Structure 1
Amino acid sequence: MPVYHVVLFKLKPGVTQEQLAKWQKTSRAMVGKIPGLISLHANPPLPISVPRAKGFDMGLVAVLESPDHVASYATHPAHLEVHKMREELCEDTLAYDLEFDAAEGVKL
């Protein structure tokens, strides 16, 4: 069954929009390179969510084909490149993986 890989990021002070744009572009480019990675979206929280975001400035949702693909995604060279960028830009992260039944009508 497909998996939502959800990650929240607290950015370090001074991170620029250019750095974020490069990170987002590099992250999205993993789709098509990493087997089982169906889609990936990353953005800051909506203004209505900021008061509840506990300092997390950016979120990512990746959809993978199965739980097995989460493990291979984590060690793939394209992801390791994005992971290195994340370490440079972020002071904290929170990750959460959710498996879901695609027959329930979840479409991305």
Structure 2
Amino acid sequence: MIHHVIRFNIKSGVSDEQLDNLLNSLRRQAVAVPAVVSAHVGRAHGEDRAWGANFILNDLDAYWQFITHPAHLETDRLGWPLLDDFTMFDITDDTDPTIGDAIAGLHERRLREFPELVDVVAPPRDPCQANA
């Protein structure tokens, strides 16, 4: 299992309606993307980012299906312009020591195969360097 977790703050001036649209778009992914086993979207606590989502996926194939699904791509286009601060990380029970590199490779592949996202989506950051 892979838990794909995002945490974010929104920019000053983003309306309640825009935030609701973003949160609803994230929630739609749980229904629209068959690869999502379970998802939670809402307020985040215990960190300096106010909002978050957690998507549970079975494996790398499901991860790829998730990040390339039209519902996810629509959330990218809708959400990224509203974000002030964002972090993403994955938690997995997979014991393969290369799974982190494999996940990073899927994100790189997605940007190659969907070049229109390059100007929309910030490249994934190394969580070890996120606070550097």
Bin for the TM-score computed over the shorter chain = 0.7 to 0.9
Q: 1:81 aligns with which of 58, 74, 77?
A: 74
Partners of 1:45 and 1:33 in 2: CA distance: 23
More strand by share: 1
For 1:62, which of 17, 30, 55 is the aligned residue? Answer: 55
Q: Is the 8 A contact 2:7 2:44 kept in 1?
A: no
> How is 1:1-108 mapped onto 2 (pairs within 5 angstroms)?
2-46=1-45, 49=46, 53-54=47-48, 56-100=49-93
Does the Cα contact within 8 Å between 1:27 and 1:40 map onto a contact in 2? no
Which structure is richer in relative contact order (CA contacts within 8 A, separation 6 or more)? Answer: 1
Q: Letter of the aligned partner of 1:95 in structure 2?
A: M
Amino acid at match of 2:8: F
TM-score by length of 1: 0.75
- Provide the TM-score with structure 2 as the length reference: 0.63
Structure 1 stretches of 4+ with a deviation exceeding 6 A read none
Q: Alignment RMSD, CA only?
A: 1.7
Counting aligned pairs with the same residue, the percent is 29
* Count of aligned pairs between the two proteins: 94
- Where does structure 1 lack aligned partners over 5 or more consecutive residues? 102-108
Q: Which runs of 5+ in 2 are unaligned?
A: 95-132
2: CA distance, partners of 1:12 / 1:71:
29
Which residue identity is paired with 2:59? S
C-alpha separation in 2, matches of 1:4 and 1:14:
31
